[in-house]
């Protein structure tokens, strides 16, 4: 999923770079509200977590396996702004320390996986959460749908960039169909894994799931007296 | 794809490339790759020149080719895309080995492969010759917002710790006979990721508390850079001054602020300062 150098032409890469700089700048302002001054250590640890999570291979069968992209997962766990920051730092470190994704394509990668992946994921989560009953468990289907939709949307965004700044004269309709078809499948896998991870965290530490916090405030302490139990 | 790398790629060495300041290396890589990306695909000799230039740097840096070549696999998903290009692209056809392929698609495939490969070799050379702390200092010299630099510094510092957490969970699963074979095993893997998140998040909270215990303060927009230590740790005298002085309250903005304001001295990234 990491776009390498030379996949898009220089003007498009510079344009996505500008979009990424503006997006990350906004995220820096927004993240202060989500995490206060603990941002640096916490976001750093969450970035290390996202990076480690991408190393877990999920077997698909027939000897193939895939790994999580983590955009919607990060949005659900730490909120959209911190999520964008975390994904951007992960991509930056991957580009500079692991040569994974080109440096000139960093803006493209941050735009697609950071801004679009986290942003669309979060928008869907908020929408679904509003439609479902106000229970912490509602976050699980919300995050799943967020993951399922954000992955093909990011793929469609990539196709749009390829239409503008791609280096080949390929039939765009076919590329769009192939990209969206393939990434809908990937998105389904991402949705299942995201749902499983979120449900395991919600079961033990619902207070750590950012998307569940507004629902958590609704819960009140229930005191059961012996008469009420009997 | 991001799979399969557990630790940074730094190769220890003492070459001039290793000694060069990290921020110049990052700028050099960026400038070089912009040139490469902007080179039209049919300028074959230009690509020869770029490759020669790059290989000179690799030789001067004494990065072994045996180390470099296997790591080119990060490119593979896009090589597949490039190889498909001649078959799906529009335009006049040419015969290659008896198969009619698109001429423009062929050029595009060559361009993708050439630029992508140059990018990966150049990126690997930077990663091999620059240690992670140097890289963080380089990003700081390049005026990356200090919040981002700090997040990256914490990420790099705790990457091995979190990866080790994951490794221990995998060993615990394996010692109970768990082998992930197909999607039916996903719930187990997902629970381990959930546990990893809780551990990482709680570690982040503990790290922050331990930093506070050592005198770290979220330095305000009007910090006293001469008295606060470079990375936001405040000395004893300064704490006493702030506790007693009137400057404390007029400085207390409601909005939380970053641990270090712009324009101060660079963060000291030497290990051993942070608790784990």
Closest CA in chain B for residue A35: B256
Catalogue the E-assigned strands of A119-225: none
When pLDDT is cut at 50, 70 and 90, the band that residue A89 belongs to is very high
Q: Could you tell me which of A210, A205, A68 has the C-alpha nearest to residue A139? A: A210
Choose the mutation target among B31, B123, B220, B221 for the interface with A, i.e. most A CBs under 10 Å: B123
What pLDDT does residue B242 have? 57
Instruction: Provide, as residue numbers in chain A, all residues whose Cβ is less than 8 Å from the Cβ of B156.
Output: 93, 97
Of A5, A57, A93, the CB nearest to B156: A93
pLDDT tops 80 at residue A218: no
CA distance A198 to A212: 10
Residue A151 domain-assigned (yes or no):
yes
When pLDDT is cut at 50, 70 and 90, the band that residue A147 belongs to is very high
What pLDDT does residue A168 have? 66
Q: pLDDT digits over A2-38, tens only?
A: 788 888 888 888 999 999 999 999 998 888 777 666 6
Counted domains in chain A: 1
Of B132, B158, B182, the CB nearest to A45: B158
Domain housing A121: 10-229
Of A48, A57, A167, the CB nearest to B158: A48
What pLDDT does residue B205 have? 87
What pLDDT does residue A182 have? 85
Instruction: Provide, as residue numbers in chain A, all residues whose Cβ is less than 8 Å from the Cβ of B163.
Output: 48, 52, 55
Choose the mutation target among A3, A5, A56, A67 for the interface with B, i.e. most B CBs under 10 Å: A5
CB contact at 8 A, A80 and A211: no
- Helices A139-165 and A10-35: crossing angle in degrees, nearest 10, is 160
Of B118, B153, B190, the CB nearest to A193: B190
What pLDDT does residue B101 have? 75
The ranges of chain B with pLDDT < 70 are 1-8, 95, 97-98, 217-276
Residue A1 domain-assigned (yes or no):
no
What pLDDT does residue A173 have? 81
| Contact across the interface for A86 and B9, Cβ inside 8 Å | no
Residues above pLDDT 90, as percent of chain A: 37
What pLDDT does residue B225 have? 40
Of B9, B41, B112, the CB nearest to A98: B9
Residues above pLDDT 70, as percent of chain A: 91
What pLDDT does residue B13 have? 79
Q: Could you tell me which of A140, A57, A74 has the C-alpha nearest to residue B200? A: A74
Residue A2 domain-assigned (yes or no):
no
What pLDDT does residue B261 have? 41
Query: Residue A58 is inside which H or E element, if any?
Result: strand A58-61
What pLDDT does residue B175 have? 94
Can you give the CATH number for the domain in which A181 is found? Answer: 1.10.1760.20
What pLDDT does residue A16 have? 93
For residue A204 the two structure tokens come to 């033990």
| Contact across the interface for A45 and B207, Cβ inside 8 Å | yes
Among A67-71, A208-212, B217-221, B256-260, the range scoring the smallest mean pLDDT is B256-260
CB contact at 8 A, A116 and A16: no
| Contact across the interface for B159 and A51, Cβ inside 8 Å | yes
| Contact across the interface for B151 and A32, Cβ inside 8 Å | no
| Contact across the interface for A77 and B197, Cβ inside 8 Å | yes
Helix (H, G, I), strand (E, B) or coil at A109: helix
Residue A5 domain-assigned (yes or no):
no
């Amino acid at each position: 999923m990491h776009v390498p150098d030379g996949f898009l032409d220089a003007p498009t890469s510079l344009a996505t770079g500008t979009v990424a700089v503006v997006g990350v700048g906004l995220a820096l302002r927004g993240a202060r509200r989500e995490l206060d001054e603990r941002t640096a250590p916490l976001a750093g640890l969450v970035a290390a977590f996202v990076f480690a999570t991408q190393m877990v291979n999920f077997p698909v069968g027939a000897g193939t396996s895939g790994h999580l992209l983590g955009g919607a997962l990060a949005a659900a766990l730490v909120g959209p702004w911190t999520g964008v920051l975390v994904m951007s730092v992960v991509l930056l470190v991957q580009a500079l320390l692991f040569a994974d994704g080109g440096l000139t394509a960093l803006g493209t990668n941050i735009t697609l996986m950071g801004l679009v992946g986290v942003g669309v994921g979060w928008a869907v989560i908020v929408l679904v959460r509003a439609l479902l009953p106000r229970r912490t468990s509602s976050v699980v289907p919300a995050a799943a749908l967020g993951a399922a939709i954000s992955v093909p949307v990011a793929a469609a965004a990539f196709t749009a960039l390829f239409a503008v700044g791609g280096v080949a004269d390929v039939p765009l309709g076919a590329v769009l169909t192939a990209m969206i078809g393939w990434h809908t499948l990937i998105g389904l896998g991402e949705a299942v894994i995201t749902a499983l991870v979120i449900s395991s965290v919600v079961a033990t530490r619902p207070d750590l799931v950012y998307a569940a916090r507004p629902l958590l405030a609704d819960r009140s302490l229930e005191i059961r007296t012996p008469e009420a139990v009997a | 794809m991001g799979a399969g790398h557990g630790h940074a790629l730094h190769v220890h060495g003492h070459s001039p490339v290793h000694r060069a300041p990290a921020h110049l290396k990052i700028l050099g890589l960026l400038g070089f790759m912009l040139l490469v990306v902007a080179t039209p695909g049919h300028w074959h000799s230009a690509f020869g020149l770029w490759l020669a230039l790059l290989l000179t740097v690799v030789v001067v840096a004494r990065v072994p080719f045996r180390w470099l070549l296997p790591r080119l696999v990060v490119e593979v998903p896009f090589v597949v895309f490039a190889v498909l290009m001649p078959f799906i692209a529009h335009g006049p056809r040419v015969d290659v080995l008896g198969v009619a392929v698109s001429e423009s698609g062929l050029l595009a495939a060559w361009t993708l492969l050439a630029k992508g490969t140059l990018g990966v070799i150049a990126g690997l050379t930077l990663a091999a010759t620059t240690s992670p702390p140097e890289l963080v200092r380089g990003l700081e010299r390049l005026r990356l917002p200090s919040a981002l630099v700090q997040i990256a510094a914490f990420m790099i510092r705790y990457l091995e710790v979190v990866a080790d957490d994951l490794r221990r969970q995998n060993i615990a699963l394996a010692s109970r006979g768990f082998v992930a074979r197909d999607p039916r095993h996903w719930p187990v893997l997902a629970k381990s990721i959930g546990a990893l998140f809780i551990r990482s998040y709680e570690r982040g909270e503990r790290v922050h508390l331990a930093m506070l215990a050592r005198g770290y303060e979220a330095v305000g927009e009007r910090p006293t850079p001469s008295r606060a230590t470079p990375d936001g740790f405040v000395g004893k005298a300064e704490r006493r001054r702030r506790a007693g002085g009137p400057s404390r309250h007029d400085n207390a903005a409601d909005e939380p602020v970053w641990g270090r304001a712009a324009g101060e001295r660079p963060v000291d990234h030497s290990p051993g300062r942070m608790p784990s």
